[in-house]
Structure 1
């Protein structure tokens, strides 16, 4: 098919630009897992310092293998949204992004040219020195009049015997805050390694104690485990009898949910190796794909289960089965984020980690401008436009299952032992629910939604959901779950 370059000028006629990518873990089971990354992306987007802020995940979509395709610029900075260095930041993310790097990331980050894009990959935000200021901000929130005469600080980490990096960042921040002289004492304590949090009454002497959890988000540990281990009853707990006399504990919220983390992320991005104030150019292939898509959207089209209808410069998106229903019967979103929130769960309220499963909920509509439509589509069907366009032009490269399996490490390395029969059995169950055609398994897709077939979406590589299910099959867990009725 010949490319119509006459459509490109509105998209390519722009100043140099930069893309910022935030990488989270995500979850196949818990829809709240991605919430913190979404919130920071929205906050950073509102600052206007980058031309776009894009989210990517290990366990959700857009996946790590997809996310770089969705960036508009040839200048991309990638920030791992993790509280410390470890397996994901040093092994999984670099591997899945194709950075050709494994192991500790240097302080200035690493830079690679991938598919014509300069990609800079940084340390996780949690190890940046600026996090000491975030800890201090959390401490002042819960105890505004803290002072060096009578106030102790506990920087509380998770800790693990499997990776010393988990505790190293806690000790470093404790040292920085101890050197600041703003507290009578500063202690580093942990949930899962010594010195453990339960020892605090013996080691802390000051009458007032501020506890700041060095965690990325609010969750089971911050809401349940820590209060239980410390005997806390709320934000402020008085202990009239302790080895060192009466003590009052002030329990702060986790550092990872503080708004100033956005400043840390921006500092980290600007300090990345080779960071350029000039920025890059519009990625030409990306621009071509979206120019072609917008040309179709202006006439009205279907993609997957979604119907797109133009209305005087705006675009209405809704479930195709809701065609003809009055708008006042549908829940309406007017931002890409609103569309995201309406479609992240199915009609039963269950999390949708794979957006192309045939369970797009009904009963909603989104009304977006042409400028917002690409991000709305990014939330609705991540990377589908880019991959569909590439397949239409025979430039999309499929990754066969054996190659994907050999790339897996850690607990997923066992998928390398899966037999072809096991993979196919799992694929029938998982992929049978999906709109995509398995190019990675040798299936053919002669046409796409670009040529008027709504459900013709290419799948160039097995997704992490399928990988996880194959792992369960190799472990025998799928059979156990089936037998128990799960």
Structure 2
């Protein structure tokens, strides 16, 4: 069967073209795994673009490239979509297959560096929020599921906008430690706040790229879209 899909991210309001280029590249990578689909990427920051794209694609599946559900995915995104578009899938950070992908990655990192998972301290770096607990709850749920699969010595979460801070979470660990950023892209907080926290904490472990940049993510998203297109009566992945 053929179908349309839109992958939607927040984007960068100060420079919309940057986010548009990123999400377009992700959509192209996803489309490579879905020859039967027309997949395009769009950001909420690009004025008028999501309205135009969705109007031209009735029935298109919507994949939110967000780390948690909240105002942007539950209010703004549905409001800006053209009538008849959807359904909307669960956000990227809540996808039930993401923790397994992360755990497999962490095991490979341990192998590459001569670590054993049971001797490794894991830090999940997240955004957090001073307004809503949804973001930190999603981060902690992800961390718990990854730890259950990966089996580290310890697991901590640190946040940019709430406690515990990134600096606190990264402090007091040895070289057998891995920091995995629970972010979709490598900009903003990942380029500024995280390196500052690493320096301030004296963290000596490995800092990975954001989970959203893992090379297996496009195939994961493609699988989610294919599954939803061929299983219309199932509404979520839990």
If the TM-score is normalised by the length of the shorter chain, which range does it land in? 0.7 to 0.9
- Identify the match of residue 8 of structure 2 among 6, 20, 23: 23
Q: 2:21 aligns with which of 23, 35, 52?
A: 35
Is 1:45 the counterpart of 2:31? The answer is: yes
Structure 2 unaligned runs (5+)?
Answer: 233-238
Q: Is the 8 A contact 1:138 1:253 kept in 2?
A: no
SS of 1:19 mapped into structure 2? strand
Q: 1:259 maps to which residue?
A: 215
1:274 Cα deviation from its structure 2 partner = 7.4
- Is the 1:120–1:273 contact (alpha carbons within 8 Å) kept by the matching residues of 2? no
Equivalent residue for 2:149, pick from 180, 188, 191 = 180
CA deviation map 1:86-108 (0-9, x unaligned): 11101001111156xxxxxxxxx
Q: What SS is found at the alignment partner of 1:21?
A: strand
**What residue in structure 2 maps to residue 190 of structure 1?**
159
| Structure 1: runs of 5+ lacking an equivalent | 1-15, 100-113, 240-246, 277-486
1:319-370 Cα deviation digits (max 9, x unpaired): xxxxxxxxxxxxxxxxxxxxxxxxxxxxxxxxxxxxxxxxxxxxxxxxxxxx
Matches within 5 A, 1:198-237: 198-200=167-169, 207-231=175-199
Cα pair distance change 1:26/1:200, threshold 3 Å: closer
Q: Structure 1 158/136 Cα, relative in aligned 2: closer, same or farther at 3 Å?
A: same
SS at match of 2:222: helix
Correspondence for 1:320: none
Please say if residues 151 and 206 of structure 1, whose CA atoms lie closer than 8 Å, have aligned partners that are also in contact: no
User: How far is 1:58 from its partner?
Assistant: 1.9
Give me the whole-angstrom Cα distance separating, in 1, the residues matched to 2:231 and 2:6. 14
Q: CA deviation at 1:252?
A: 0.7
- Superposed CA offset, 1:383-435 (max 9, x none): xxxxxxxxxxxxxxxxxxxxxxxxxxxxxxxxxxxxxxxxxxxxxxxxxxxxx
Give the structure 1 partner of residue 129 of structure 2. Answer: 160
Larger Rg: 1
Matched residues in 1 for 2:128 and 2:8: separation?
A: 22
Deviation at 1:48, TM superposition (A): 3.1
Give CA-to-partner distance per residue, 1:61-115, whole Å, 9 cap, x none. 66222112333xx54211111121111101001111156xxxxxxxxxxxxxx2x
Distance 1:89 1:227, change over 3 A: same
Please give the secondary structure, in 1, of the residue aligned with 2:86. Answer: strand
Report the CA distance shift for 1:142/1:96 in structure 2 as closer, same or farther (over 3 A).
Answer: same
Distance 2:4 2:229 in 1: 15
Using the TM superposition, give the Cα deviation of residue 180 of structure 1 relative to its aligned residue in structure 2, in angstroms. 2.1
Residues 179/64 of structure 1: CA separation in 2 closer, same or farther (3 Å cut):
same
Inter-partner Cα distance in structure 2 for 1:175 and 1:267: 23
Q: Deviations over 1:133-171 (max 9, x none)?
A: 343355356542331342111011010021211111111
Q: What SS class does the counterpart of residue 194 from structure 1 fall into?
A: coil
Equivalent pair of 1:23/1:79 in contact (CA under 8 Å): yes
Query: Residues 17 and 139 (structure 1 numbering): CA distance in 2 closer, same or farther, change over 3 Å?
Result: same
Higher RCO, Cα 8 Å, sep 6+: 2
Query: Against the structure 1 CA distance between its residues 45 and 177, is the aligned structure 2 distance closer, same or farther, given a 3 Å change threshold?
Result: closer
Q: Distance in 1 between matches of 2:9 and 2:62?
A: 11
User: Within 5 Å, which residues of 2 pair with 1:252-331?
Assistant: 252-272=208-228, 275=231
Q: Partner of 1:36: helix, strand, or coil?
A: helix
The residue correspondences of 1:437-448 to structure 2 (distance < 5 A) are none
Q: Report if aligned partners of 1:184, 1:206 keep a CA contact under 8 Å in 2.
A: no
SS at match of 2:75: helix
- Per the normalisation by structure 2, the TM-score is 0.83
Q: Distance in 2 between matches of 1:159 and 1:187?
A: 14
Q: With structure 1 as the length reference, what TM-score do the two structures score?
A: 0.43
